[in-house]
Chain A
């Protein structure tokens, strides 16, 4: 079965510092990996995805993620955090058999001034 895990329920970062939100995956075959962000009382917004190609994927709002096949990881990163980045972040993998997205449990990012 395919799955993703986000080992941290919460990440706290000071504004201006780099941030990392961790994600590991378990799939058979090549993974399709995604990051979404959810602001309070809002839907999920797409940040970026990895399908194939460059291991470093750049996405919206200055975020990027690095696909690491040997470590089965797809960590989300940003060089300099903003207070407005505070939100709930979800990692997801696409089921290659049926096309559905399987989500991790989410990581609450808090960026303090």
Chain B
């Protein structure tokens, strides 16, 4: 199993541009999570899905952020328009029952 796969690993973009982060969960896992890590705020849960359905998006900072999970093997996190304060490492994780696995993260820099 290749684990949770995130792309891209690094993204540098200009303020105002749209950014799309991608995640492929582990096959068979039925829950998917998007986390953001910053020095100031640590690890924050943005949104998570059970069986492709968004369950809790209370962590999504504002309307500029949106996430989709069109099928069991793919999810996207989109920021439009991006701002410098969105610079962070974004992690995707997937889970089945008690096992959690994290991707390597996408380091986003908005200049």
Over the window 27-42 of chain B, the binary record of Cβ atoms lying under 8 Å from chain A Cβ atoms (1 yes, 0 no) is: 0000101000000001
Inter-chain contacts of B105 with A (CB < 8 A): 42-43
Near B by CB (< 8 A), chain A positions 45-80 give: 45-46, 49, 51
**Contact check: which of A46, A104, A105, A106 meets B100 at CB < 8 Å?**
A46
Given A43-B91, A44-B91, answer yes or no on A102-B45 (Cβ-Cβ < 8 Å): yes
Inter-chain contacts of B101 with A (CB < 8 A): 46
- Assembly CA distance A41 to B104 (angstroms): 9
**Contact count A vs B, C-beta below 8 Å:** 45
A22 within 8 A of B: no
> Closest approach, in angstroms, between the C-beta of A34 and any C-beta of chain B?
7
> Closest approach, in angstroms, between the C-beta of B69 and any C-beta of chain A?
15
Closest to A106 in B: B42
A99 within 8 A of B: yes
Inter-chain contacts of A106 with B (CB < 8 A): 42-43
**Contact check: which of A46, A100, A103 meets B48 at CB < 8 Å?**
A100
| 15 further interface pairs, Cβ-Cβ under 8 Å (given A44-B91, A45-B102, A99-B95) | A42-B105, A43-B102, A43-B105, A46-B100, A46-B101, A49-B98, A94-B98, A99-B31, A99-B50, A99-B55, A100-B33, A102-B45, A103-B43, A105-B42, A106-B43
On B, residues with C-beta under 8 Å from A are 31, 33, 42-43, 45, 48, 50, 55-56, 91, 93, 95, 98, 100-105, 107
